[in-house]
Structure 1
Amino acid sequence: AAWYQHAWRAMDSRVGVVPLPVYLLLAALIAGFCKLGKVPTDMSVSIAILAIGGFTCAEFGKRLPLLRHIGAAAVCATFVPSFLVYLHAIPPVLLKNVVEFTKVTNFLYLFIASIIVGSIFSMDRNVLVKGFLKIFAPLAAGTVIAALVGTAVGMALGLGWKHTLFFIVVPIMAGGVGEGAIPLSIGYAAILGLAQGDMFAQVLPPVMLGSLSAILLSGCLNFVGKRYPHLTGEGRLQPGVADDLRVSELPAGPADITNVAGAGLTAIALYMVGLMCFRLFDFPAPVAMLFVAVVLKLLRVVSPQLQQGSHVVYKFFSTAVTYPLLFAIGAAMTPWEKLIAAFTLANLITIVATVATLMATGFVVGRRLGMYPIETAIINACHSGQGGTGDVAILTAANRMQMMPFAQIATRIGGAIVVTLSLFALARLGA
């Protein structure tokens, strides 16, 4: 073989999506900058750092015996960097770059916008209508039953019903950190007359451990679905259609690059609509964006060409951005010490019991309603996720990123309802 054919084979060997020679070059350059004590803060370097970190952790998880079948790639991409930060194993100049890029750019929401808009615009219209109406039943049933079971388990372990309900069970289903733990801690502090920081320190660990439990259990369900195909639609919510994520009106041939670019800007525009709704009406931006995208899809406003471009945008972000994003979340937004603070046996049993009940109820109710039980269980799992970051990790572990719109319903709307009812109940009960 000619020398360039060997080079081609090397380039076709990949770590994640990165060609192996490019991966080695980037790793060497990043190490060199760290050695010099100055890592450039421009976007290109930050993207390279997140790609190397995210895909390295993911590849490690994919090679773990047994665990690779239950979402180890997503778990490693999220929690290994958190642990490395705790150990001070990541050079400070490198960590500074990751933290600043993650918090300043807030590219988590670019990812969520692209995934939501791309998947909604790509859905079969009839499936979209039926799915959104049906998903509320297993979600509501799961919330109520999980609250009862989780509280009962906590009481049996000596935690007390009020502490279990309001400081373990409710935070798990509150919708993450920004939309769940923070509003809960503010409300709890006002009602109980305590410091908001102390309340936040109590409700944060269950949020994180609940999300970790949901990631692992969703990975297990993905493995179960491989063994028992009749229980899953492989990302489809209901039987009877070829694919939830399809565009029946797609033009033939590959997507035109102008349609792909237009679809990306459409996703950004809808996210900005969500931000405006948040500023004007205090309505969560991802939920507003979700509803606007659904309305546009139902009214047939989006052309087939733009739908095709949206599908390409969705595939790009789900394939190329997920693991770098999880690495950024783990390093910049997931404090390891908060996570391990809840590692008492009673707390762990209560948290796992709550999440397992939430998912099991979704499984049973979804099956009774003629939906794929594994898919409905995974959507219910997102109700116990760590906000948008949890949704990404859970759906990645389950290999069902196309279900992001339904996951956002479970996380955002379900979480908002839980927070509101919990604060109302605590205010009536008092200290």
Structure 2
Amino acid sequence: MNTTDAVTLHDQREVKIVLLIAAFVIIMATFFNQLPGGMIGALGAMVIVGYILNYLGDRTPIINQFFGGGAIVVIFGSSWLFHSGLISGDITKQITTFTKSGGFLSFYVASLVTGSILGMSRDTLKSAALKYIPVILGAVAVSFVFAGVVGLFFGKNLFESLMLIALPIMGGGMGAGAVPLVEIMSGRTGMDAASLMSQMVPALAIGNAIAIVIAGLLNKVGQVKPSWTGNGKLIRGEQEQIEEETNKYSLDVTKLGVGALIAISMFFLGTLLSSVISMHTYALMILSIALIKVTGLMPANLERAAHAWYTFVVGNLTPALLVGIGVAYTNLDQIIDALSPMYFAMVFATVLGAAVGAALIGRLMGFYPVESAITGGLCMANMGGTGDVAVLAASKRMELMPFAQISSRIGGAFMLILATFAIQLFS
């Protein structure tokens, strides 16, 4: 062992000792309900819980090989841990507030979307933009076919299987999907909003859980069939240009700060545009960043700074955010209560159909099937932005966030338009 290796091992041991001490202090404060208020208390608990559960998940046989490893354990483990009564409800509320209204999720997504788009080559972005919409359409078409066939097998009519299960699952989550869908359908079907929502919400929750599990399985498929995956690259033959450039780029604190400021500014831009254009903030942010990238308006060193900040956020804050998703967005009781064999089969068929449809059309459009299934399929079938993070974490492909957001936001908007026309067939 040379001197450099010895120094590295020494540094790693020091880091582990610091983490253990920090974990002990924060766990004691959590156990005795003495966490500070606001961001510092919530983030401290989320980082430690996320790190521990992620560590265990990545080292648990079967789960680490077939079901996404740490990401799955963090989401469902933290949901159970914080909702089981073992930890004070005040801390659970604190984490929920920080993740939702505190803006942690928006901060994370803005960092990933900005850095990953600005980290692409212009040619890749142009090529993908023209071919990606057919992938989404393929996912929707096959998911509806699968859901309809399974529904008919169980004696359900097409309205029940398509409009009450498949459509909300593929509709972009809760706020951008189920809520407006209920508004559209309640006025034209004669069903009250509460009844519609009670049938749609379990489908969303179970569909999101299934999408996360399938994402972990697709990562394993990519390992078994290397020709089916670009290991995070969507387009077949795409080069590793940006990553190589970033590795050569000196990443000091100032440049990371610049990258964070660019990401935040892009989110502000999307927010401003959404006040005059009737589209989701994330969708407008994606379109704005893509336009800046394609036109070359941003200097290359600033693009690299944004990509470096994205790398930092993914490497350090992902387990913490997954805890937030588990606590604030994952209701295990709701999932378990709705788990009848028939209901599960219909939801599973919808999510599987989305992945299969996206993979098939993606292959035809020059994309890798695994990445197409994840972004064009599973990210249509999960619960919007939170589901995107969970699915990409389970599949270990966080760099695909821009395409995941296109599926959730632009694809979700398409589903609302489709619902408006489809309801005419059943009313």
Give the alignment's TM-score, normalised by structure 2. 0.92
**Deviation of the 1:413 alpha carbon:** 0.9
Q: Are 2:330 and 1:330 aligned?
A: no
**What is the aligned partner in structure 2 of residue 33 from structure 1?**
29
Q: Give the length in aligned residue pairs.
A: 421
In the alignment, is residue 143 of structure 1 matched against residue 136 of structure 2?
no
Deviation at 1:59, TM superposition (A): 1.7
Q: What's the counterpart of residue 61 of structure 2?
A: 65
Which residue number corresponds to residue 418 of structure 2? Answer: 421
Counterpart of 1:181, as a letter, is: A
- Aligned equivalent of 1:107, options 84, 87, 104: 104
User: For residues 13 and 174 of structure 1, do their structure 2 counterparts lie closer, same or farther at Cα, with a shift above 3 Å needed?
Assistant: farther
When structure 1 is superposed on structure 2, of 253-262 and 309-318 the one drifting more is 253-262
Structure 1 unaligned spans of 5+: none
Q: Give the counterpart of 2:348 among 347, 352, 357.
A: 352
- 2:220 partner letter: F
Report what 2:42 is aligned to. 46
The residue identity in structure 2 corresponding to 1:229 is: P
1:12 equivalent to 2:8? Answer no
Give the structure 1 partner of residue 312 of structure 2: 316
Most deviating of 416-425 and 127-136:
416-425
Are residue 169 (structure 1) and residue 166 (structure 2) matched?
A: yes
Shift of the 226–345 alpha-carbon distance from structure 1 to 2, 3 Å rule, reads same
Give 1:346 shift: 0.8
Q: 1:106 to 1:355 in 2, by over 3 A?
A: same
Q: State the match for 1:188 in structure 2.
A: 185
One-letter amino acid matched to 1:397: A
Mapping for residues 150-299 of structure 1, pairs under 5 Å: 150-243=147-240, 245-246=242-243, 252-299=248-295
Q: Is the 8 A contact 1:26 1:48 kept in 2?
A: no
Mapped to 2, the partners of 1:200 and 1:13 lie a distance apart of: 51
Residue 367 (str. 1) matches residue 325 (str. 2):
no
Query: How far apart, in 2, do the equivalents of 1:199 and 1:334 lie?
Result: 20
Aligned to 2:388: 391
> Which amino acid is 1:423 matched to?
T
Per the alignment, do residues 270 and 25 of structure 1 end up closer, same or farther by CA in structure 2, a change over 3 Å counting? same
C-alpha contact (below 8 Å) 2:26/2:48 kept by paired residues:
no
Per-residue CA deviations over 1:380-410 (Å, capped at 9, x if unaligned) read 2111111011111111111111111111111
User: Does 197-206 or 22-31 show the bigger shift?
Assistant: 22-31
Q: Quote the Cα distance in structure 2 between the aligned partners of 1:423 and 1:87.
A: 40
Deviations 1:110-155 (A, max 9, x none): 1111000000101011011101111112221221121122112112
Q: Which string of whole-angstrom CA distances, capped at 9 and with x for unpartnered residues, describes residues 33-61 of structure 1?
A: 34544321142232211101112222222
Q: 1:108 to 1:239 in 2, by over 3 A?
A: same
- Identity value in percent: 29
Asked if the contact 1:119/1:245 (under 8 Å) is kept, the reply is no
Deviates more, 1:334-343 or 1:20-29: 20-29
Q: Which amino acid aligns with 1:68?
A: N
Counterpart code for 2:417: T
Letter paired with 2:108: F
- TM-score in terms of structure 1 length: 0.91
Answer yes or no: is the 8 Å Cα contact 1:234–1:400 preserved in 2: yes
Q: Distance in 2 between matches of 1:423 and 1:337?
A: 32
- Over aligned residue pairs, what C-alpha RMSD do you find? 2.4
